[in-house]
Chain A
Amino acid sequence: MNWLTSYLNLAGAYIKINTKSLLAYRGAFISQMVAMFINDFVWIAFWCLFFTRFPVVKGWGVNDVITLWAIAASGFGLAHMVMGNALMLPGIIMKGELDSWLLYPRAVLPHLLLGRSSASSWGDALFGIVVYAVFVKPDLPHFCLFLALICSVAVLFVGFSVFTGSLAFFMGSADSVSTQLRIAMITFSTYPSPIFQGFVKILLFTLIPAMFVSHLPVSALRHMSMTEALYSFAGALAVLIAGVIMFYTGLGRYESGNLMEMRG
């Protein structure tokens, strides 16, 4: 319990200092946030146009897609607002920048993840909540479940970023692989889940666990199903655990940026 309180205090301190740091360049921060909000909104506009032409896609209507985008965007946003270094992990490992984090009396992974806030993620988080409240107009129980699912999706995204980022311990230069996997995850997370069937569906429940963003949370909200919500949380937790195992397994191989590679 003390451990949890201590890390929540630490998270609070980092959120405060990260926000202060972003606000040091207020104009740049706000413009990045607004740009991301608009970018997400363009996609919603696209889907609205699509659904005026095809009102139902395999049982999904426009509200489902808006819910999906709201969950995915705000989950992704929350993840990297609080733990922005999840996105930078391959670079941090490759450049030997873990050194600084290893010098503090804290568990290196949570501490490292908290060390940065991504400015554009604030736009994602804000967008998701606003769009869900304005377009879907949920009642209080739906909104509460939505907030809980955002946290679940945030955990999932952090876990996935940690897992893919930790490939750098094993592959050296894993920046592009990690980015490609993350893009694949985001892409598959923002399309209606029923369009994926068979092998692809299995893939999206395992290697690229987008179904824990696009399928289970949306279905949980649609049916107010606690079972599906619990499956979402369980999936997110499993991905996080996989990421943590991957990171700490790789950490034993960390060479502080001294792994030399030459072209013969």
Chain B
Amino acid sequence: MENAVSVNQLVKNFVLKKRDGLRWSSTQVKAVDGITLAIPKGQSVAFIGPNGAGKSTTIKMLTGILHPTSGDATVLGCIPWKERTRLARRIGVVFGQRSQLWYHLPPRDTFELLSKIYEIKRDLFESRRDMLIERFQLGEFLDTPVRKLSLGQRMRAEVACSLLHGPQVIFLDEPTIGLDVIARQELRDLVREWNQENGVTVFLTSHDAGDIQHVAKRVIVINHGRVVLDDKVSRVRRQYLREKVLSVKYADTPESITLEGVKTLKESGHAFKFEVDTLAVSIERVMTEIMRIGTVVDITIEDPPLEEIIAHIYSAPRVDAGEEEPEEEESEEGAT
């Protein structure tokens, strides 16, 4: 499949100036340290990492805002920092902390202005605008000044604005920041629908595990400016989920469970919560034992939250230059 985004050994250094008395000294800080990745057209990718990992710097290079220190990248066949204006017509960008809506005016006016900026023909503009109004349910507040909108409404309008010119790739930089649970869910659904129905490539950064889980099929984790993991979201969950949590409700008091790798986390009446180490014992074996010791009324098997997995990946130590990063090898499968 053709790639929407290709990045090869991308490096960005920043100059850190420091004053020591009357003297200034400067040192180079590596914000992005040789990132290589490929994103096929139509894929939805979560690009995550702790603060200062190099996510925003990478996005800024991929959208043509920043020039890299070295390395190559193409987005839809364009070199972003050399063909910025050409690329800008084909990508959409949403910064959760930066608005392109006019604060004192209704979203309708921003739509009008964007049609002039992107030079969209009037009839095409009107049909796209009306379709976005319907899909993003903007009708009720289309003529309300942006300052009077809730954050959820504003973000819906932001994303709709970034889709007005029909981009093939959309970069979303923490789009759900500050949103409540419902607004967050609505926005995730909209982005996912847009990806699935319109084939738009989604490049999402977020600190919210829910965004990653609901929107992305693939997750790329960067830390210290390097890719430390690149795989399918589902595989990441499986791979990093050694433990599963089983909540079991019995009809009456069961016998005690004595399997290696099974720990009772909580016991309340006839309800039990077990933690199972799947490397020590198979789920099948545990299930058989659970059924044997009593009459089961209800049972649920849960994975630990994605947050825990991400925190585990983030906490991995930095690999020095020249050393292999085993996680990256797994990316081949996840990337396809």
Contact = CB atoms under 8 A, between A and B. Distances in A.
A99 interface: yes
Interface string B79-119: 00000111011000101001010101100010011001111
A94 B93 CA distance: 22
B44 interface: no
Contacts, number: 86
Given A6-B119, A13-B113, A256 B104 contact: no
A134 interface: no
Interface stretch (B15-23, B267-275, B301-309): B15-23
A105 B17 contact: no
A20 B100 contact: no
A103 interface: yes
A182 B66 CA distance: 29
Nearest to B66: A256
B309 to A, nearest CB: 29
A263 B21 CA distance: 8
Contacts of B14: 255, 258-260
A105 B86 contact: yes
Contacts of B21: 264
A99 B64 contact: no
Contact of A99 (B65, B88, B102, B119): B65
Contact of A105 (B29, B95, B102, B118): B118
Nearest to B98: A100
A102 B64 contact: yes
A12 to B, nearest CB: 8
Contacts of A222: none
A102 B100 CA distance: 12
Nearest to B57: A258
A225 interface: no
A141 B322 CA distance: 75
Contacts of B66: 254-256
B59 to A, nearest CB: 10
B113 A103 contact: no
Interface in A63-101: 98-100
Q: How large is the interface on A (under 10, 10 to 19, 20 to 34, 35 or more residues)?
A: 20 to 34
A24 B19 CA distance: 46
Interface string A226-264: 000000000000000000000000001011101111111
Contacts of B18: 261-262, 264
A20 B105 contact: yes
Interface centre among A20, A104, A111, A256 (most CB of B within 10 A): A104
B105 A17 contact: yes
B144 to A, nearest CB: 12
A100 B113 contact: no
Interface string B16-38: 11111100000001010000000
Contacts of B63: 102-103
Given A10-B117, A256-B60, A262-B19, A103 B67 contact: no
A11 B77 CA distance: 31
A14 interface: yes
B98 A99 contact: yes
A104 B117 contact: yes
Nearest to A11: B116
A13 B112 contact: yes
A105 B116 contact: no
Contact of A24 (B29, B65, B86, B104): B104
Interface string A163-194: 00000000000000000000000000000000
B19 to A, nearest CB: 5
Contacts of A102: 63-65, 84
B166 interface: no
Contact of A14 (B19, B85, B100, B113): B113
A39 interface: no
B85 A105 contact: yes
A24 B144 CA distance: 12
A140 interface: no
B210 interface: no
A104 B16 CA distance: 29
Contacts of A98: 65
Contacts of A24: 104-105, 145
A106 B117 contact: yes
A17 B102 contact: yes
A10 B112 CA distance: 11
Interface string A191-213: 00000000000000000000000
A54 interface: no
Contacts of A13: 112-113, 116-117
A107 interface: yes
A155 B88 CA distance: 28
A99 B65 CA distance: 6
The 4 closest A-B pairs by CB, nearest first: A13-B116, A24-B104, A105-B88, A264-B20
Interface of A: 6, 9-10, 12-14, 17, 20-21, 24-25, 98-100, 102-107, 111, 252, 254-256, 258-264
Interface of B: 14-21, 29, 31, 57, 60, 63-67, 84-86, 88-89, 93, 95, 98, 100, 102, 104-105, 109, 112-113, 116-119, 145
22 contacts: A10-B116, A13-B117, A24-B104, A24-B105, A99-B60, A99-B65, A99-B98, A100-B98, A102-B65, A102-B84, A103-B93, A105-B88, A106-B88, A254-B66, A255-B15, A256-B57, A256-B66, A258-B14, A258-B57, A259-B15, A259-B17, A260-B14
